[in-house]
Amino acid sequence: MKEIDAAKNGSPLSILQIGTQFELGGIPRHMIDLSQSLRDQGHSVTLAGTPGKWYGPENDPDFLELPIRYVASEGGRLPVRLGHLATSVRRLRMWLRRNPVDLIHTHESAPALVSMLARPSRPVPVVVTYHGSEPQRIGTFSKIARHCDLVITPSHASARDLATIGGIPEERLKVVGLGVVTPPEDPPSDIARLRQDLIGDGERLIVTVGRLAHQKGIDILIECVARMRDIHPGYRFVVVGDGSLENEYKDLARTKGVLDRLHFAGRTERVHRYLRAADLFLLTSRYEALPYVIVEAFQAGTPAVATACSGVVELIDDSVGRLAPIGDVEAICSAVAALLSDTARLEQMGRAALARSREDRFDPNYICSQFEATYRAITALRR
């Protein structure tokens, strides 16, 4: 949008950021980091959604609790979900009466729907970010997103899908990347100790980070571990994260006989330590938009092998890793083995990955300025 590109600085804005849930993951981290960057620029930002173990009122006394997580399919039967929708709309409407805002930025379809239904008679601009890339979801998302003032997505591939599949007009689409905060440094001895604990008597350490859910393809990863178990006995794999399919995946790993090669580390807020300890980052997702964690791996100087989902191809080329077809176990295994067999090339890729992580498109300050200009342009159009 030309208006967005031309937007200039002005008075501080009051912004409401609404997400589905605040368990540990890329979308909540993006929301929290963006909100803090906006606050650092003098804007007033309130976060809202379903609190999780990772973030909620305990961390942020102004956090607005809404049961939006249960408006989506997680809520169970339709009557139950509609009840949570009504509760979310009622709470948000009451909050907005007491706390007028300049703009509502929603993340995904359920928060957008709640915001559209709750906003006052003098409409507040609603912006929605689409963080997904699953083709089956685009139709449903777009039906809601068409009523928003602007649709943002972090990847050009997702923007194309929203235009061609979802019918969102290109002038209502904006691509804004994800700013990834650089994690704190760790004593090298701590990383070496963690690596030794994880790798044991192995030779190479491959780390995966993600929710234990169908989207992330952990079952595909387990098939890869089984395929490489005898061919590359020195490989050790670690999965960092938790989720609804944790027990199912552990049972699958047990059935495949790979629990001596694959360790489920659970959830941690110090993901960067595992990425720094790794020789290689592996992502086997079925679909992604722009995975936050790949940039985190690059910040650690760790190359990546990943399935060629939507926005992933905007992050990885042969200078920093390898891409493999989605679900192709043989191709994934071949890519992993090719990189780990050449230490000099792996180290060169690590340096290139670190350099890539420092590009403007991942810089939190740059991304914050992009969102700030976007917000100002949208609010100016409403005046």
Q: CATH number of the domain at 174, please.
A: 3.40.50.2000
Q: Would the pLDDT of 26 be above 90? A: no
77 token code pair: 């039967």
- Which pLDDT value is given to residue 7? 38
Other beta carbons within 10 angstroms of residue 382's beta carbon come to: 12
Q: How far is CA 297 from the centre of its chain?
A: 13
Residues 158 and 29 in one domain: yes
Q: Are residues 291 and 206 in the same domain?
A: yes
Q: Tell me the average pLDDT across 40-58.
A: 91
Does residue 312 share a domain with residue 259?
yes
Are residue 215 and residue 150 in the same domain, yes or no?
no
Q: What is the pLDDT of residues 215-238, one digit of tens each?
A: 999 999 999 999 999 999 999 999
Q: Are residues 27 and 123 in the same domain?
A: yes
Quick one: DSSP state of residue 32? H
Same domain, 31 and 91: yes
Residue 1 has pLDDT above 60, yes or no: no
User: Span 300-313, mean pLDDT?
Assistant: 95
**Is pLDDT above 90 for 53?**
no
- In this predicted structure, the answer to whether residue 255 has a pLDDT above a threshold of 90 is yes
Q: Give yes or no for residue 3 having a pLDDT over 60.
A: no
Predicted confidence at residue 134, as pLDDT, reads: 76
What value does the mean pLDDT take over residues 53-81? 86
**How does pLDDT run across 106-115, given as a tens digit for each residue?**
999 999 999 9
Cβ neighbours for 188, distance < 8 A, ≥ 6 positions apart: none
Task: For residue 312, give both structure tokens.
Answer: 């992933």
The pLDDT-based confidence of 246 (bands split at 50, 70, 90) is very high
pLDDT tens for 156-173 read: 999 999 999 999 999 999
Burial readout 193-207 (b: 16 or more C-beta within 10 A, e: otherwise): ebbeebbeebebbbb
Are both 205 and 172 inside the same structural domain?
no
**Selected residue with higher pLDDT from 289 and 353:** 353
Residues 170 and 234 in one domain: no
pLDDT of residue 9: 58
Convert the pLDDT of each residue in 354-369 to its tens digit: 999 999 999 999 999 9
Q: What's residue 373's pLDDT?
A: 95
What's the pLDDT score for residue 8?
45
What pLDDT was estimated at residue 383? Answer: 64
* Of 86, 54, 51, nearest in space to 71 by CA: 86
CA distances from 30 to 2, 79, 92, 180, 380 (A): 25, 31, 22, 8, 25
**Domain enclosing residue 378, as ranges:** 2-179+363-382
CB 297 within 8 A of CB 353: yes
Mean pLDDT is lowest, of 63-67, 119-123, 248-252, for 119-123
Query: Are 85 and 138 contained in the same domain?
Result: yes
Confidence of residue 280 (pLDDT cuts 50, 70, 90): very high
Tokens of 238: 């670690």
Contact (CB, 8 A) for 205 and 238: yes
Same domain, 317 and 225: yes
Domain count for the chain, please give it.
2
For 254-276, give the secondary structure using H, E and C.
HHCCCCCCEEEEECCCCHHHHHH
Mean per-residue pLDDT over the chain, rounded: 92
Q: Are residues 153 and 192 in the same domain?
A: no
Nearest by Cα to 129 from 152, 160, 98? 152
Q: What percent of the chain has pLDDT over 90?
A: 79
The band of 310, judged by pLDDT with boundaries at 50, 70 and 90, is confident
Residues 159 and 192 both lie in one domain: no
Local confidence band at 195 (pLDDT 50, 70, 90 cut-offs) = very high
DSSP state of 362: G
State pLDDT tens for residues 121-132: 778 999 999 987
pLDDT at residue 274, as a whole number:
98
Is the per-residue pLDDT at 54 higher than 80?
no
- Residue 4: the pLDDT is 41
Q: Tell whether the model's pLDDT for residue 73 goes beyond 90.
A: no
User: What is the distance between the alpha carbons of residues 151 and 139, in angstroms, rounded to a whole number?
Assistant: 14
pLDDT (0 to 100) of residue 126: 96
